[in-house]
Structure 1
Amino acid sequence: MAKGERTFFGHPWGLATLFGTEMWERFSWYGLRAILATFLAASPVHQGLGMSQETAQAVVGVYGALIYLVALPGGWIADRILGARRAVLCGGVLIMLGHISMAVPVTSPFFIWLGLSLIVMGTGLLKPNMSVMVGRLYPEGDDGRRDAGFSLFYMSINIGAFFAPIVVGWLAAGDRWHLGFGAAAVGMALGLTQYVWGGRHLRGVGERPGHRLSPAERRHFRLVLALGTAAAVIGLSVWVATGTFTVDRLTIVITLIILAVTVAYFAYLLLGSHNLTQDERIRVKAYIWLFVAASIFWMIYDLAPSKLLFFARDHTDLSLFGIKIQPATTQSFNPLFIMIFVPVFAALWVKLGTRVSTPQKFGFALITVGVSFVVMAVAAALAGPGRVSVWWLVLVYLIQVFGELSLSPVGLSVTTKLAPEAFKGQMLGVWFISFAVGDSVGGQTGRLSRVLSEPAYYLVLAVMAIVAGVVLFMFTRTLRVMMAEHHAPPEMR
């Protein structure tokens, strides 16, 4: 940077623009997330959609899964058609329109489904390309400042995630759901204002696609898009015409499609030639273990905005230090603990170095998230038909954050490390598919509540995670050999 140039905590001022945009976008995302399940399950008398808790949990699960899936085509559209800067702007507008649609105070669910669809599409354009633009603010070779810039940027996510459930939860109280959705729309509008107003500080970053489509490729893209859209519309229309369509069944179909795509991709990677070396194939096989572990982790961890939210509403005394809080406010515990413990875990991993391997970190994360659900089982048993202190949920989220900080920061790093040379870019997207698999399957686990008691439900998922964690510890040596991790440096993001 030139001497005397305006900076943002020592970084290019363009980072302030992206910081504010991301903070408000995350405010809108986490604000909606904090009330969506309870809105879907609220009866029409209380201005909700009247779903069962199991169906509401499934909808929230596939909604979260689709958010991660669309990041892949969103990144491609920016690279080949729009450029990152326009993709972020278009995405932000779609997100804002989606929240406005949900804020329309009518009883018809049409505007709700339209709003969720717009938010999914908009997030796919905005989310991956914001990170791309942050990286491009720094010149080649300035890796240290770039990493520090990303750390500052990620803080914006947790600031937005912390305040959103408090504000939106308070506004939506008393069945004022659409007021809560409106607050999310205002949040995204503020983010867009920040983005447009501060655009001049981005120094032209992301203005042009990295590899623009040729005219022939553009025609082919339009044809494929039109055919794909037509096939989806016709298929859905036929399904509705048969009289067998329900939202609940749709969530099952989406979950199965996500699982099928995941299996097909790994089969394509391992069974095709692709000029992969033997070592690359072995590393992919090791990665599959970690992918499954991450999916199990997210399956439990991302039940916070559905299953744990219902528990907060129905079975906890919502009072902290004598102050009454809303059920949605419990969603603020997680980002608060993340902001507190990120520097602690960063220092811990540096100190431990290679003495703790990636499989051991993943195994610890799984056992930790499993233990959190053992605590949930105890809380559910104590609550029975009544209520327990909300401090039980505080403890659960604290334990889960220890697991997240053991798994999430190393996920992208190990993905890059184990990816075959010809699949580096694709495999980064595959890491986010583990979120999609976990969220969609986690949403379907609500069906277990029909045959299991609340404590048993939590214990079943807890045992699954703990057993998976123990298996990773048992095979740590084998996996380290497959990963060639004997002398690997500590993975930090």
Structure 2
Amino acid sequence: MPSELSSVSSRSTRSSSFAVVVAIELWERFGYYGMQAVLLLFMVRQLGMADARANLLMGAFAAMAYALPVVGGWLGDRVLGSRRAMLLGATCMMGGYATLAVATVHVGLMTVAMALIATGNGFFKPNAANLVRRIYEGDDAALDSAFTLYYMAVNVGSTASILLTPLLQDHFGPAVSFATCSAGLLFGLCVYTALRGRLRHVGSAPDFAPLAAGPVASLLLGIVAAIAGLHLILDRPVLARDCVWLAALAVLVMWTLIYRRAAPAQRPGLRMAYMLSIQGMLYFVFYQQMATSLTLFALRAVRGDVTLGGVTLFHMSAGQFQALNPIWIMGASPILAFLYRRFARQGRDLPIARKFVVGYSLVTLAFVIWWLGALSGGTGLVSPWFMIAAYGALAVGELLVGGLGLAVIARYVPAAMGGFMMGSYLLSMGVAMYVGSMVANLAAGAPAQPAAGAAAYAGLFLTLAIAAGVITVLFAALLPLTRRWDHEHVGA
């Protein structure tokens, strides 16, 4: 009986700690995705920026936002502590959204605001995920389920903001949209402050020691320098491109050094982490289409009225179509989490590599649907039901690939380097998003003649469908190798 009570108490403590991380992540995603839903539209409609330039700026911004977690994860592991780094990141992002609101009047501040957001994301993203990993450390089945539920819960925030901010933009202007993102994250920080005691036993080593004044001052100076540097990079497209390729090279170098210095028992797990991270990274080439080509497709080629039997059910603006992704994720996540736990109890836990193959097959299906929709529209407008169906396939694919990418690091990488490796995985995601923005430009028109009509996007969607199909077949062929490496990791 005492051991049963202890087990129940342990589960209760883990669930309570997990709820706090989910709460702050939910409001952080409210801010980030609300901003993303209107930023490209602000550039194209209010600033008159060409599609191709706006796509690449969004890609460079995403790359920077996902490159900095390498540094933020390391600082969380070694200097600040995961909890403090997460809090610092949320504060920077809140300031970034507020600065974007001001940038609608003073346009020169736009890239400064984007730099603030990218810096904040660098601190927040790896450390929030690392806290989830530490809460469920040692329980692989619970870890997969927790990351799936984590993914679902944060999509509540993104759904609300993606539906809200384009509406605010259309009726009150972009400044109100960006200010709402900042206010949402401020509320999340207040919730975290009230509940932070539930996390007092969770964190990396520095969380349990006082901070010295010297490192704090150095850190603040470094943050200011990072924001200034990112501002200059984002203002210069060629420099931004070169920095992205340099970041990709840095990931390869870091992974090589980590592998060479790892103990023999750690290497099978690292091999698995590297292979599955590359598979997860490639997904974000497709994912980036939501913020670029699919938003422009919705703006220029999709009917906003969703009808059934001649009756209009509701209306969606171009930015709001992005909300279909988190809506589908929220619907599918509990089902997948239930299936993971049930299979685990039956001793039939589905390997992550196999989940990735199924996920990519759904990504293929999604872009086949978008291709058929673009063909059906021709030079006219496409039915929004194509968007609804395709986003459904892409969302479940995201849960099986993107949603488990961090679980790969949590499962196969030693705890001591968990934050850093999560950061490097996020960096690789950023590189993939920049590549995704380059791919999106296959459907971008000339500056004076932006892409118009559904037919302009058919070639892009067909290319993406074929690429996803080839990746599915390739990763299916690699399943025997991943199975062998997984066995070696468990044995080690």
Asked if the contact 2:149–2:333 (Cα under 8 Å) also holds between the matched residues in 1, the reply is no
Change over 3 Å in CA distance of 1:184–1:9 after alignment to 2? farther
2:306 aligns to what? 320
Deviation at 1:198, TM superposition (A): 3.7
The separation in 2 between residues aligned to 1:224 and 1:27, in whole angstroms, is 26
2:249 aligns to what? 260
SS in 1 for 2:289: coil
Q: Using the aligned pairs only, state the percent identity.
A: 27
Change over 3 Å in CA distance of 1:247–1:175 after alignment to 2? farther
Matched, 1:101 2:111: no
SS in 2 for 1:104: helix
Change over 3 Å in CA distance of 1:175–1:483 after alignment to 2? same
Unaligned runs of 5+ in 2: 446-454
The separation in 2 between residues aligned to 1:166 and 1:400, in whole angstroms, is 19
The amino acid that maps onto 1:169 is: P
2:281 aligns to what? 295
The separation in 2 between residues aligned to 1:440 and 1:171, in whole angstroms, is 28
The separation in 2 between residues aligned to 1:315 and 1:102, in whole angstroms, is 28
1:126-148 CA distances to partner (integer Å, 9 max, x unpaired)?
Answer: 3333345566779x989998887
Deviation at 1:123, TM superposition (A): 2.3
Matched, 1:332 2:323: yes
Deviation at 1:412, TM superposition (A): 3.4
SS in 2 for 1:26: helix
Q: After the TM superposition, which of the residue ranges 164-173 and 111-120 deviates more from structure 2? A: 111-120
The amino acid that maps onto 2:467 is: M
Question: For the aligned residues, what is the CA RMSD?
Answer: 4.2
The amino acid that maps onto 1:57 is: N
Change over 3 Å in CA distance of 1:236–1:124 after alignment to 2? closer
Matches within 5 A, 1:355-370: 356-370=350-364
SS in 1 for 2:111: helix
Matched, 1:351 2:337: no
1:14-59 CA distances to partner (integer Å, 9 max, x unpaired)?
Answer: 66554433322211111001111111222xxxxx232221222222
Change over 3 Å in CA distance of 1:354–1:302 after alignment to 2? farther
Select 1:440's aligned residue among 401, 413, 434.
434
Deviation at 1:229, TM superposition (A): 4.3
SS in 1 for 2:47: coil
Deviation at 1:105, TM superposition (A): 6.0
Deviation at 1:155, TM superposition (A): 4.2
Change over 3 Å in CA distance of 1:137–1:282 after alignment to 2? closer
Q: After the TM superposition, which of the residue ranges 60-69 and 461-470 deviates more from structure 2? A: 60-69
Matches within 5 A, 1:27-176: 27-42=30-45, 48-104=46-102, 106-133=104-131, 153-173=150-170, 176=173
Asked if the contact 2:114–2:231 (Cα under 8 Å) also holds between the matched residues in 1, the reply is no
2:468 aligns to what? 465
Asked if the contact 1:381–1:455 (Cα under 8 Å) also holds between the matched residues in 2, the reply is yes
Unaligned runs of 5+ in 1: 43-47, 240-244, 489-493
SS in 2 for 1:317: coil
1:318-357 CA distances to partner (integer Å, 9 max, x unpaired)?
Answer: 1234222222211111111111111222344443965854
1:145-164 CA distances to partner (integer Å, 9 max, x unpaired)?
Answer: 88877666544311101111
Deviation at 1:117, TM superposition (A): 1.2
The separation in 2 between residues aligned to 1:409 and 1:231, in whole angstroms, is 29
The separation in 1 between residues aligned to 2:116 and 2:163, in whole angstroms, is 24
Change over 3 Å in CA distance of 1:411–1:456 after alignment to 2? same
2:182 aligns to what? 185
The separation in 2 between residues aligned to 1:110 and 1:485, in whole angstroms, is 54
The amino acid that maps onto 1:253 is: D
Deviation at 1:315, TM superposition (A): 0.8
Deviation at 1:446, TM superposition (A): 2.6
The separation in 1 between residues aligned to 2:218 and 2:150, in whole angstroms, is 35
The amino acid that maps onto 2:248 is: L
The separation in 2 between residues aligned to 1:274 and 1:427, in whole angstroms, is 14
Matches within 5 A, 1:11-30: 17-30=20-33
The separation in 2 between residues aligned to 1:422 and 1:156, in whole angstroms, is 27
1:45 aligns to what? none
The separation in 1 between residues aligned to 2:257 and 2:98, in whole angstroms, is 41
Asked if the contact 1:259–1:437 (Cα under 8 Å) also holds between the matched residues in 2, the reply is yes
1:274 aligns to what? 261
Asked if the contact 1:11–1:149 (Cα under 8 Å) also holds between the matched residues in 2, the reply is no
SS in 2 for 1:320: strand
SS in 1 for 2:167: helix
SS in 2 for 1:387: coil
The amino acid that maps onto 1:31 is: G
Q: Which is bigger in relative contact order (C-alpha 8 A, separation at least 6)?
A: 2
Change over 3 Å in CA distance of 1:154–1:470 after alignment to 2? closer
Deviation at 1:256, TM superposition (A): 1.2
Q: Structure 1-normalised TM-score?
A: 0.80
Deviation at 1:457, TM superposition (A): 1.3
Change over 3 Å in CA distance of 1:412–1:246 after alignment to 2? closer
Deviation at 1:433, TM superposition (A): 3.1
The separation in 2 between residues aligned to 1:208 and 1:274, in whole angstroms, is 22
Q: Structure 2-normalised TM-score?
A: 0.80
The separation in 2 between residues aligned to 1:314 and 1:21, in whole angstroms, is 35
The amino acid that maps onto 2:343 is: K
